[in-house]
Amino acid sequence: MAAAGLAACSDSSPGSAAADHTAADHTPADHTAAATPSAVAPEPASTLAQAGPGLVPGGPATAVAHGPRDRARVALTFHLGPHEAGQDPVLARALLGEAARLGVPITIFAVGRWLDAHRDLVPDILAHGNEVANHTYTHPTLTALPGDQVAAEITGCREVLARLTPAQGRYFRPSGTSTATPLILAEAGAAGYRTVVDFDVDPLDYTAPGADAVVARVRAATQPGSIVSMHFGYPGTVAAFPRVVANLRVAGLAPVTVHDLLAT
């Protein structure tokens, strides 16, 4: 299977989602970013000890776009929260139900404010070995914000996850961009995140291309170690999910959480 280009998770309207992505949004996220000064002083480790596993404040986080290529594993990641189509909790439950039925653990990058308002969904999210991670508090285009606002978006979601999913929340993924900038990496590191999770497979399911297109794009782009980026709020994604999983298994690739994918 061939590697795929990337597209950002953006805040554009449904009718213009595809047109609003720049060429930079479709560049594979295989990058090393230099540090920029953090706008917010790192918090004490004692504070972060209650905020999620492995959160240690320090220098810039490391961005990863995929796991080891020599292992027959892939991670299916899903953004949960408002996007171009909003977020229907019924669709969220349907996708979680399919993952449970198929025995597939998924990694859920949650928007903090949305998750806080729909906390009744948390037991279903945490069931069956799923993993929950940070996708900012309100889902802005993070690259358009100054450092203090980037920090607030990261720590705001971190605090929600600490309350609702205290054993979870070890990773961060920025919103509105497919690659973490030096500023984002610096603020993520200051907030305790050592790893920012990008992706190397994006079927553009947020453009609502239909289930067949989502299935075909994931099948064509995924390889060992891939991190696939999808979304909860689209019926086509829910319909595609069982076939996506079936194709991975036929190819000998086991779906695992990001944590298991990156484990050494």
Neighbouring residues of 234: CB distance < 8 A, sequence distance ≥ 6: 85, 91, 205, 206, 208
Number of H helices, E strands in the chain: 9, 7
DSSP 3-state of 215: helix
CATH architecture, domain 43-262: Alpha-Beta Barrel (3.20)
Residue 215, amino acid: V
Is residue 246 within a helix (H) or strand (E), and if so which, with residue range? helix 235-250
pLDDT of residue 4: 34
Phi-psi region of 189 (alpha: psi -120 to 50; beta: other; left: phi over 0): alpha
pLDDT of residue 74: 98
Tokens standing for residue 190: 């200051």
Mean pLDDT by 10 residues, the chain (264 residues): 39 34 36 35 47 87 97 97 77 96 98 95 94 97 97 98 95 94 98 97 96 98 98 95 98 98 90
CA distances from 182 to 95, 189, 209, 251 (A): 34, 11, 32, 36
Residue 171's CB: how many other CB atoms inside 10 A? 27
With contact defined as beta carbons under 8 Å apart, do 133 and 171 qualify?
yes
Quote the pTM value: 0.82
pLDDT of residue 9: 55
